[in-house]
Amino acid sequence: MEWKIKSWKDYQTAYKNSLENTESFWGNVAETFLWQKKWDKVHSGNLTEANVKWFEGGKLNITENCLDRHLKDRGDKVALLFEPNDPSDQVQKYTYKQLHEAVCKASNMLKAQGVKKGDRVCLYMSMVPELLISVLACARVGAVHSVVFGGFSAEALAGRIEDCGAKLVITNDAGFRGNKTVKLKKICDEALLKKECASVEKVIVHKRVGEEVTMKEGRDLWWHDLFASQSSECKAEVMDSEDDLFILYTSGSTGKPKGIKHTTAGYMIWAAYTFANVFQVEENDLYWCTADIGWITGHSYITYGPLLNGATTTMFEGVPSFPDAGRFWQVVDKHKITHFYTAPTAIRALMGAGADFVLDKDLSSLKVLGSVGEPINEEAWDWYHDLVGKKVCPIVDTWWQTETGGIMISPLAGITKEKASFATYPLPGIEPVLVDEKGDEVVGDPAEGNLCIKRAWPGMLRSIWGDHNRFIETYLSTYKGMYFTGDGARRDEDGKYRITGRVDDVLNVSGHRIGTAEVENAINEHPFVIESAVVGYPHDIKGQGIYAYVIIDEEQAASDIKDEIIGEVNRHIGPIAKPDKIQFVTDLPKTRSGKIMRRILRKIACDETDNLGDTSTLLDPSVVEKIMDGKI
Ligand code: WTA
């Protein structure tokens, strides 16, 4: 691949070229993929008009690029390595040939159930090979996949099914997670009872645990009954470059989660290009990303990115703490993993468990370490670098978002000179800028501001499912002609970027995005709750914790309902959004126009009360004192 960056000089040339000769640059990358018909135009549209297109007129199927393309040279190479939850259970391996076969069978299974191009299919599954196979099977038949993380509640699942109008759901009987099982089918049944889910005609259940489940006649079917008899050949559907590939829901600062919509060719090129250049995986390497396929990281860097590059991808069913805090390192040792990609929250948790869990494993196979999902603090970075990477493995601190499709700002392994806690430099094609509150670009280094991207890139979201106006409002209206990330950043004297965190009302808890409004809405469902306000505060392991200020009906005894409030959050969203602290208050600080001043609540939760800033616009400043007195 002549586009693979191999040196700092290559990077500089590629970066310059990507901005100056955008069309020929991406055209050359795209040439190395398999097309049923070449594109007419590499790029058209712009951020101002929200009409971005890449490789318009091209025809392709992403799975032919993930699988068929490799059969000749890599047919017997392992494509997928599956490490089960229980270390003594069977490891599974699929070669490219076997994965191709499995995906074809699953595609035929979907077709036999009436799934057609453009239909939405919801995947609510645990981390088993059949999830990755289902993702690819959807793409092969042209169905739009929408994976919902297995930790979301029935109500959250129902909301997503309703929004995308899924025709079919694939789930597991249950999933293993550490020493627990998650009853996925049961939760799914509960979701499907709701009238919002009327679009669902069929449910395919893959048996993983052997959990007893109820199968609804005419609707529910077992994977094993359908799969085995299918033909192992399935012609890939012809997709237009801009046909929808998937929807993935993510939280914003207001309202319900947004269905982020990605299309086929641009996403494919971006996932493939960024994977190859950031991780620098070579032919015999063994790559492992610990994310769940329910998040974007699992889409781009467990599924599409590695397979598009003919790499071996590892899928892990379990959790970092089971059977003990040495599990990650034991897996690295067992399989001789070369590339390891995880989230800072996991690093911090394992760091807390002590060095012994690391030191008794052989980690000498490791070549590259990666970090994703939240800012990595220097202490965690140093621990990762020194203890896991033995001071020789480069760390790629990759900044990106569900919306960006793939990595945007990151060191390239072994090429970019890294700096602890800095995502460093933009990938080719990415033009980041920092803007001040007025929306003016901050020029020169060092600088600080809100992070925006100045021009369209192939992997960017094309819209929010069913709500193009919300897409424009959320991302493209705050700063004219730019994509607004919602993150703040600093640039040092060398132009390296450090992402400082969200500047909107989105929390990042253990690397999971959670909207404060969603948590508030859930809390407010409790009959005794009058009003609530949720903010984030620094948490040693999770990065951010959730702090909820809650006003309840005076007649009710406060302490009794904390668990019930948590229950509401579990019911409406899922355990990942559980408040860490709940403080009952009698009032919230509001402006004269009735707006809650979150800035103040944030400062109180963060113990930064020395300087509360201007409180003169408050309707009743004494409220602040009272809240501070009751701080937990
Ligand atoms: C945050 C995850 C600092 C950021 C891929 C972003 C990061 C949000 C980093 C997107 C990083 C992601 N350093 N912050 N390396 N990577 N973030 O959509 O706030 O789940 O906006 O995508 O995570 O989260 P999402």
Tell me the per-residue pLDDT of 120-170, one tens digit each, with 9 for 90 and over: 999 999 999 999 999 999 999 999 999 999 999 999 999 999 999 999 999
Torsion, CA 141, CA 147, CA 150, CA 156, rounded to 10: -130
Predicted pLDDT of residue 593: 87
| pLDDT over 70 at 413, yes or no | yes
Distance (Å, whole) CA 94 – CA 85: 18
Bridge partners, 180 (sequence order): 177
| Cα–ligand 1 centroid distance for 264 (angstroms) | 23
| Percentage, residues of the chain above pLDDT 70 | 100
> Would the CB of 508 count as within 6 Å of ligand 1?
yes
Please determine, for residue 412, whether its predicted confidence score (pLDDT) is greater than 80.
Answer: yes
HEC string for 400-418 = CCHHHCCCCECCCCCCCCC
> Residue 344 in contact with residue 511, Cβ under 8 Å?
yes
Q: Is 261 in the pocket of ligand 1 (CB under 6 A)?
A: no
**Interval between CA 422 and ligand 1 midpoint (Å):** 13
Lowest average pLDDT, out of 22-36, 119-133, 208-222, 549-563, goes to 549-563
Is residue 499 within 6 Å of ligand 1 at its C-beta? yes
- How many whole angstroms from its chain centre is CA 94? 24
pLDDT tops 80 at residue 1 = no
Name which of 20-29, 155-164, 367-376, 594-603 the model is least confident about. Answer: 594-603
Residue 557's pLDDT band, with cuts at 50, 70 and 90, is: low
**Which candidate, 281, 270, 273, places its Cα nearest to that of 312?**
281
- 297 C-beta closer than 6 A to ligand 1: yes
Side chain identity, residue 111? K
Q: How far is the CA of 542 from the centre of ligand 1 (A)?
A: 14
Residue nearest to atom 3 of ligand 1 (CA): 375
The pLDDT of residue 35 is above 90: yes
pLDDT > 70? residue 559: no
The predicted model gives 330-351 an average pLDDT of 97
Residue 481: other Cβ atoms inside 10 A: 12
Select from 508, 510, 576 the residue to mutate for testing ligand 1; criterion: most ligand atoms less than 8 Å from CB. Answer: 508
For atom 23 of ligand 1, the residue with the nearest CA is 373
Q: Is the pLDDT of residue 611 over 90?
A: no
State yes or no: cis peptide before 432, omega within 30 of 0.
no
Ligand 1 pocket member 449 (CB < 6 A): no
Contact between 546 and 605 (Cβ < 8 Å): no
Q: Rounded mean pLDDT of 530-555?
A: 95
- When pLDDT is cut at 50, 70 and 90, the band that residue 245 belongs to is very high
Under the banding of pLDDT at 50, 70 and 90, the label for residue 615 is confident
Q: Is 280 in the pocket of ligand 1 (CB under 6 A)?
A: no
* 313 pLDDT higher than 90: yes
Look at residue 560 in the predicted model and tell me its pLDDT. 77
Q: Is the pLDDT of residue 36 over 70?
A: yes
Using DSSP, state whether 392 is helix, strand or coil. coil
For residue 180, give every residue at least 6 positions away whose Cβ sits within 8 Å of its Cβ, in sequence order, or none: none
Q: Which of 249-258, 286-295, 525-534, 610-619 has the lowest mean pLDDT?
A: 610-619
Reading the block at residue 306, the tokens are: 């590695």
Contact 198, 216 (CB under 8 A): no
- Ligand 1 proximity of 421 Cβ (cutoff 6 Å): no
> Which residue lies with its CA nearest to atom 1 of ligand 1?
374
- What integer is the mean pLDDT of 262-286? 98
Say if residue 502's pLDDT is above 90: yes
Cβ–ligand 1 contact at 502 (below 6 Å) = yes
Task: Say if ligand 1 is within 6 A of residue 399 CB.
Answer: yes
Residue 450 in this model has a pLDDT that exceeds 70? yes
Q: Is the confidence at residue 396, as pLDDT, over 70?
A: yes
For residue 375, report the distance from its CA to the centre of ligand 1, in Å. 7
Query: For 58-117, what is each residue's pLDDT tens digit?
Result: 999 999 999 999 999 999 999 999 999 999 999 999 999 999 999 999 999 999 999 999
What's the confidence (pLDDT) of residue 52? 98
Average pLDDT over every residue of 522-530? 95
Q: Give the nearest ligand 1 atom to 423 CA.
A: 15
The CB of 534 under 6 Å from ligand 1? The reply is: no
Nearest atom in ligand 1 to the alpha carbon of residue 410 is 15
pLDDT bucket at 556, cuts 50 / 70 / 90: confident
Find the 591 Cα to ligand 1 centroid distance in Å: 31
Of 246, 248, 347, 374, best ligand 1 pocket probe by most atoms within 8 Å of the beta carbon? 374
pTM: 0.97
- Closest residue (by CA) to atom 15 of ligand 1? 399
pLDDT of 558 higher than 80: no
Q: Is the pLDDT at 578 greater than 80, yes or no?
A: yes
Strands 53-56 and 239-240, sheet pairing:
unpaired
Which residue type, as a one-letter code, is found at position 388? V
| CB-CB contact of 589 with 551 (8 Å) | no
Provide the phi-psi class of 514: left if phi over 0, else alpha when psi is between -120 and 50, else beta.
beta
Q: What pLDDT does residue 624 have?
A: 93
Residue 452 alpha carbon to ligand 1 centre in Å: 14
Task: Kindly give the distance from the C-alpha atom of residue 321 to the centroid of ligand 1, in angstroms, as a whole number.
Answer: 23
Judge if the beta carbon of residue 423 lies within 6 A of ligand 1.
Answer: yes
Mean pLDDT over the full length of the chain: 96
CB 291 within 8 A of CB 301: yes
Which residue's C-alpha comes closest to atom 12 of ligand 1? 373
pLDDT exceeding 90 applies to what percent of the chain? 94
Residue 55 φ/ψ region, left for φ over 0, alpha for ψ in the -120 to 50 degree band, beta for the rest: left
